Structure 1
């Protein structure tokens, strides 16, 4: 293989690293146990390591696992063989928007969750699945997702873009646990019913935060809560990192202040994000 043909294996390594999220996987398994019946047709969008497709097959499903990254798909195929379900899982290397199923699915798994539904394709992919993959009475996992924001102080991520006297444009970054200091309570900015289509939806809201501690507001931190089915709920503690979204400039705040923030973005389109502090 020539150097030009070699690609760094970031996608497959990331997919495999998610196998450490045991709580997330166990919650999905509980949900699949409830919704997948023997010989149900299941479509798994963005299968990654194949873990959710394999679990669905173990529950009796006939599964189509879609993955755009060829190396991740090969890994998932090997995992299916190791777990004796390769005869129940069909692997498709294609973007979900280009795949045309031969039949409508009883269950669609679409787990592309991210802290604000900003970067990953959770919302557009779920909408596409409702319109093109799922039976009218079928089930999609997850069913709903809510997004929350709060202003925070994060000296580490704010200084990341300043080094040796050089300045770089600030971008949203994942934050380690305990790295952000909350300056106000969380507020819900959006709620998505994923059992319905959310085509061309725009999140647009003005939030008024009451500051609970003196500090410097460097930006917002985003997180989510997603209901798989019934009482089975995913949250940040199940393996996701918070997303730190920096302001254009830091804001000094005092306890009792009201900080108004206007935010808008199109879910799944990173470059549409706009934040203004009032």
Structure 2
């Protein structure tokens, strides 16, 4: 069975339309490639990186296991590089090296590296590399950080009534998951920490690690965000971190919405279990003044049982106004519902911070 991404042309358009990605690779190729270099392009896709390398005077073996290899071949011929680029429609893991190469080139990163499922191909590419050869990217660092005060629709939906129905039994299930997000820098509650470092083309070290974060401001904890930073060439880096304009975005590891205070410490353990499913599990503990006051453990692919305890309904003046607003909306009384929402905003107490997203 062939490895690879059997994806429509639209996927490749999105990759080519990501100018942050494209221009970073172009700068790296200009710095790394010398005329006469032999290059292996791992998972060439539509062939862009192979074409950029050939334009710098390299001779390129572009390997792609999926039918998009035929489009790459058409682009090579259309742009006049048929003598410089050979497109191999093959599985790189099973393919014997054609000749030693000076540079392994590829965009095999994914939103959080492992989701691109190309590490086996990159490991196999190492068989082609000359002694002293180079790889682009030269290093990939996965980073994590706590984030807060952001909407998480995958969790928030279950915390409020829907047409008068109580859905809170799903709240715990929704936390055994990770989701794709695109966050602003202001969502970070502490500086990011390095969680995993891979120097390709060798096999990556185990995907497991710990990090400690000191919270800088009061916030409603929304989860742990993960993203990558790739060193493509000396002085050329590519990041998918919050605030970066890329097609990747970040991954968010869901957690309960803890109330954080300045000076709180979050201890985080995150690891990925080996296997085809790419299951992660993570543990977060909240420490205040040296005492652990909250802890949670979550894992993708293993949802909690349906009979988990139902979270208590919020109590307080804002909660009462909010309940009245929901009731008025169900009856179609928009003006009175808006007035009740205004009352909820005006009367909310610090103990009712969890209602902020619902009021908003």
Tell me the alpha carbon deviations over residues 105-147 of structure 1, each in whole angstroms, 9 at most, x when there is no partner.
11110211134323123544433322x1211121210111222
> Counterpart of 2:321?
none
Deviations along 1:80-128, whole A, 9 cap, x unmatched? 2221113322222223212212211111102111343231235444333
CA drift at 1:198: 2.7
Are residues 1:215 and 2:212 paired? no
Matches within 5 A, 1:90-109: 90-109=86-105
- Of structures 1 and 2, the one scoring higher in RCO (CA 8 A, sep 6+) is 1
- The secondary structure found in structure 2 opposite 1:151 is strand
Q: Which has the larger radius of gyration?
A: 2
SS in 1 for 2:115: coil
**2:141 is matched with which residue?**
146
Deviates more, 1:162-171 or 1:78-87: 162-171
- 2:195 paired residue number: 189
Judged with a 3 Å threshold, the aligned counterparts in structure 2 of structure 1 residues 18 and 58 are, in CA distance, closer, same or farther, namely same
Higher alpha-carbon deviation: 138-147 or 233-242: 233-242
Q: Does 1:249 align with 2:256?
A: yes
Q: What are the superposed Cα offsets for residues 198-245 of structure 1, whole Å, 9 maximum, x if unpaired?
A: 35x212222111112222323211122211122122222362533233
- 2-structure distance, mates of 1:205, 1:158: 26
Contact 1:177 1:241 in 2 (8 A): no
> 1:65 and 1:267, CA in 2 relative to 1: closer, same or farther beyond 3 A?
farther
Structure-2 change in CA distance of 1:277 and 1:23 (3 Å): closer
User: Matched residue of 2:152: which SS?
Assistant: helix
| Paired residues for 1:24-43 under 5 Å | 24-43=21-40
Distance 1:104 1:157 in 2: 50
Residue 271 of structure 1: SS of its match in structure 2?
coil
Residue in 2 that maps onto 1:15: 12
CA distance in 1, matches of 2:206, 2:232: 23
Alignment-derived partner of residue 358 in structure 2: none
Secondary structure of the residue that 2:97 maps to in structure 1?
coil
Q: Distance in 2 between matches of 1:95 and 1:85?
A: 23
Shift in alpha-carbon separation, 1:116–1:160, aligned structure 2, 3 A: same
Instruction: Write the mapping of 1:82-93 to structure 2, written as runs, cut at 5 A.
Output: 82-93=78-89
Structure with greater strand share of residues: 1
Deviations 1:144-180, CA, capped at 9 Å, x for gaps:
1222111113423433774964946553222124398
Q: Counterpart of 1:198?
A: 203
8 Å Cα contact 1:183/1:211 also seen in 2:
yes
Instruction: Give 1:53 shift.
Output: 0.6
* 97 and 29 in structure 1: CA distance in 2 versus 1, 3 angstrom threshold: same
Alignment of 1:44-63 (within 5 A): 44-63=41-60
Q: Which residue of 1 aligns with 2:132?
A: 137
Question: TM-score when scaled to structure 2?
Answer: 0.66
